[in-house]
Structure 1
């Protein structure tokens, strides 16, 4: 039975770029998302649509269905003083705020005397990825989940840490 739009899906995965493992949640918390809402890369979503609970399989995701093709023009030279207080290193990943208010990820490519060249391509852009995926659970969304698009497992408990909820809430 195919996974349907707006269902809540829980998966365990390992992703490889060639032989190198670049990300994994195996043995940790599952990735929980609402299917059909663009919360995971499109090629992975397409690759698991016909998987059943408990099924494990390999899903090859082409670059264009993962993090896109590499754009050689997606680099920018910016004044070094914009990185005051950061111990810059070539290859490090930085996060900032884009013009639309969303989070932007960049990689430091070159560090000059006065300027820094950053690359806006995702580090995995242009790469075909092999996912080994196990579908842990598929369930219908609650009314609240359907309205917000956020699975209950991913929701923040606003009443927890702010009111002295203690260590049971993940607060220290």
Structure 2
């Protein structure tokens, strides 16, 4: 069965590098497969679109341009904040901090520099502006159940012990 544009439950093993680099920036090799439902926006669009048509057992290298990954760098996503907002934090250049945005969602920022009065932070994703090379193997593909298609969540089966059976 081939991966469809919508409502395919897909499990993949992947390794991703910045294009032109040999440094691995993320991988799940040797760990749990990344499972998602197509058409729900769970993974970056460039990767999802490239997976459509692939089948279980198929592998490939997929180049995803920055615009179809984490987007281009947005200069307006860089801010200077008063150091008082970081009280109790042992600041280091390049460190990643997590906070809560205005809409209640988790926000990730990178500290780009600081002094005794101000902290410069960057709200861009660390991989924004970067083309990415994925090495992917499709481990599983199936049609989503009606419940999975409606909720956008993989699974839903309960085991006798009350767990979801996914190993978490």
TM-score range, shorter chain: 0.7 to 0.9
Find 2:114's aligned residue among 111, 115, 122: 111
Please name the residue that 1:166 is paired with: none
Is 1:39 aligned to residue 42 of structure 2? yes
Which residues in structure 2 correspond to 1:18-167 (within 5 Å)?
Answer: 18-152=21-155
Which residues in structure 2 correspond to 1:7-18 (within 5 Å)?
Answer: 7-17=8-18, 18=21
Q: Deviations over 1:10-58 (max 9, x none)?
A: 0000000122110000111110001111100000001111211011100
Scaled by the length of structure 2, the TM-score of the pair is: 0.88
Coordinate RMSD, CA, aligned: 1.7
Residue 125 of structure 1, CA deviation: 0.5
SS at structure 2 position matched to 1:82:
helix
Unaligned runs of 5+ residues in structure 1 are 161-168
Aligned length: 158
Contact 2:2 2:141 in 1 (8 A): no
Structure 1 stretches of 4+ with a deviation exceeding 2 A read: none
Residue 73 of structure 1, CA deviation: 2.6
Contact 2:2 2:56 in 1 (8 A): no
